[in-house]
Amino acid sequence: MLIFSYLCKIFRENIFTMKAKKILFITQEITPYVPESPMSLIGRKLPQAIQEKGREIRTFMPKWGNINERRNQLHEVIRLSGMNMIIDDTDHPLIIKVASIQSARMQVYFIDNDDYFQPRLMATDENGVEYEDNDERAIFYARGVLETVKKLRWCPDIIHCHGWISSLIPIYIKTAYKDEPSFRDSRVVFSLYENGFKNNLKDNFLSQLLIKDMTPDLLDKVNLPVDADELNRLAIRYSDGVIQNSNDVNPDLMNYAQELGIPTLGYQGAEDYVKSFSDFYDKIWSIGKEETEEEED
């Protein structure tokens, strides 16, 4: 671990004056694994386009129950699987699977679990009823991704989160995982979408969210009950940049980010978003560089 931390430090010292090189995409939907939607199309096209710009990428999504493993040639990565995560006093095994989109030369890592993902669809079941434990599923997904990236011994410069299922990544990166070598200097970008969930999260959501040395005061600004907008506000508060990824996003959320002084990027058209996102990554990375240099001084 000490050697890995040292290598990460040397690597960052060598590239701080350059562009962000390593981009981690943590998303909710990627086509062709799930049906086409604005989010799944971005999940498919954005990582490939960023990789074609010469950047190194990793991409994660949940292994939703409607994903055909045989057709999409998913297979379990034994060396990354096997960890148990405790949520609501219950052990939940973490299963990591991987598949490749050959035409894009892109690998996708899948977070799986027999309780939360294997038998389930996305936010709702076949009848459109939202799952009561969507909060636990988001917690498991966030922790599962971060623990897997640690095992990969990879140091992302930018972590780009898409969808409600990824909304807990920012607070974990800035608190429970802030001293991990993989994430110590990572910058988090959170994308806002119009689709989310309609019901409020369970009353014990905030207590379940706390792990490691996280303290309740970190959540003092969260208003109860927690709905989709409140979950987005929590993600915004702990992000380094915010992107409007749907035309019909609640404008109060973008205004909230701007009031906090967080750099934002407005809605981009289909032809412009790749270059705009790429430039935004470099902007957020350069701000992080300046902040780091000030702390060292």
Which residue segment(s) compose the domain that 43 sits in? 19-296
Q: Distance (Å, rounded) from C-alpha 278 to C-alpha 135?
A: 31
Residue 12 in domain: no
Residue by residue, pLDDT tens for the chain (297 residues) are 555 554 555 455 544 446 889 999 999 999 999 999 999 999 999 999 999 999 999 999 999 999 999 999 999 999 999 899 999 889 999 999 999 998 889 999 999 999 999 888 898 989 889 999 999 999 999 999 999 999 999 999 999 999 999 999 999 999 999 999 999 999 999 999 987 888 999 999 999 999 998 999 999 999 999 999 999 999 999 999 999 999 989 999 999 999 999 999 999 977 789 999 999 999 999 986 655 555 554
Q: The CATH number of the domain where 82 resides is what?
A: 3.40.50.2000
Residue 14 in domain: no
Strand 84-87 relative to strand 56-62, pairing: unpaired
Residue 186 in domain: yes
Residue 6 in domain: no
The pTM score is: 0.91
Considering just the CA atoms, what is the radius of gyration of the chain in Å? 18
Please classify residue 213 by burial: count the beta carbons closer than 10 Å to its beta carbon, then call 0-12 exposed, 13-18 middle and 19+ buried: exposed
Q: For residues 136, 141, 147 and 148, what is the CA-based torsion angle, rounded to 10 degrees?
A: 150
Asked if residue 46 lies in contact with residue 274, where contact means CB atoms within 8 angstroms, the answer is: yes
HSE of 32 in the Cβ direction (CA atoms, 13 Å)? 13
Q: Distances from the Cα of 146 to the Cαs of 80, 90, 127, 206, in angstroms?
A: 12, 20, 32, 19
Can you tell me whether residue 209 is helix, strand or coil?
helix
Q: Distance (Å, rounded) from C-alpha 245 to C-alpha 247?
A: 7
- The pLDDT assigned to 195 comes to 73
Residue 10 in domain: no
CB contact set of 261 (below 8 Å; sequence gap of 6+) = none
Write the DSSP assignment of 83-127 as a string of letters.
-EEEETTEEEE-EEEEEEEGGGTEEEEEEE-TTTTTT--SSB-TT
Q: Distance (Å, rounded) from C-alpha 39 to C-alpha 28?
A: 8
Asked whether the bond before 32 is cis by omega within 30 degrees of 0, the reply is: yes
Q: What is the largest CA-CA distance in the chain?
A: 58
Q: Distance (Å, rounded) from C-alpha 135 to C-alpha 142?
A: 11
- The pLDDT assigned to 265 comes to 97
Residue 11 in domain: no
| Domain total of the chain | 1
Residue 4 in domain: no
- The pLDDT assigned to 297 comes to 46
